[in-house]
Amino acid sequence: MGGQPGTTGCSDQPHSVSSSDDRSRFVRTRVAADAGSAARTRAEFGVWLERHFTLGADQFSDLLLAVNEAIANAAEFAYCDSAQRGTVDVSAAYDGDSDTLAVTVNDQGHWRPKVPVQPQLRGRGIPLMEALADEVTIDRTPHGTHVTLTWTDLTGPGLSA
Amino acid sequence: MGEQFGDSVDPTAFEVGKHQVDQAVVLTVSGEVDMLSSPQLAEAIETARATRPAALIVDLSKVNFLASAGMTVLVTAQAEVEPPTRFAVVANGSATSRPIKLMGIDSVLSLYSTLDSALSSISGE
């Protein structure tokens, strides 16, 4: 499956290095805040989930979608009023003792939905996260926005059969 | 800067196919519908809508990921379709109908679990 460092001529891609991931953590730092990078990071998070956990189809989809929405919000809103495209840090930490997964998505921008349009059409990301995760915190600071999505009883007997 | 563009775009394999079943135009979508691909879905729906078919059905049966951006496209399409045309969505699964229902969008969309049920419902009226 390739993956050799090789001679790609571009070694400055820390988010593509996954050798430090294990069951207790998934880390991608300085991911470009754009749609393509969001898709790639989502896919990598999905691979990590599948590799380390046995989840039901609904549960897996819920996790992937919630994390996607957090990254997508950062990609769409965090830097829309700044000239320079920013980055997003995504990390997941799993604690086996409490069977809890916490995913954080941090950016250095300010979420600012561009033009308010019909509420029916916009702003579904945060309600989605709230519906999909057990707990959602969104911490807006002058230096960025920090989203934490938490799932408890990740692998536990919560869901039967 | 080390930026790379245009290479190694993930094989998320978003595709939209179009075919006609009687009076209905069916858009068969596959792959991932996210903020990257949803503009293409919007464009395909818009193109199909412009021909004013009796029915326009977006079949998400082969979609393995549906983000809020994709849901917005569906809700927008529902709002923009004009009377002679009826709009329906086919979805059934953890990645598609589940978030659609979680968000209550099934109350504004005509949602079917199979293409056959969508087609027969539309032709039966």
Residue B46 CA, distance from chain mean position = 11
In tens, the pLDDT along A64-75 reads: 999 999 999 888
Domain locations along chain B: 15-119
What residue type is B14 in one-letter code?
Answer: F
Chain B interface residues (partner A, CB cutoff 8 A): 2-4, 9-10, 12, 32, 34-36, 65-69, 71-72, 75-76, 79, 93-95, 98-99, 102-103, 108
Four-way CATH pick for A23-151: 3.30.300.30, 3.40.50.620, 3.30.565.10, 3.30.70.2470: 3.30.565.10
The CATH code that applies to domain B15-119 is: 3.30.750.24
In tens, the pLDDT along A16-33 reads: 445 578 989 999 999 999
Which of B36, B96, B107, B109 is the best residue to mutate to test the A interface, defined by the most A CB atoms within 10 Å of its own CB?
A: B36
> Contact, B44 vs B16, CB < 8 A?
yes
Smallest Cα distance from A37 to chain B, Å: 9
**ipTM, 2 decimals?**
0.88
Model confidence at B125, in pLDDT bands (50, 70, 90)? low
pTM of the full predicted structure? 0.84
Look at strands A135-141 and A87-95 and give their pairing: unpaired
Stretch A126-140: mean pLDDT = 95
Domain locations along chain A: 23-151
pLDDT at A12: 43
C-alpha torsion B22→B24→B25→B27, nearest 10: -110
CA distance B111 to B119: 12
Smallest Cα distance from A39 to chain B, Å: 8
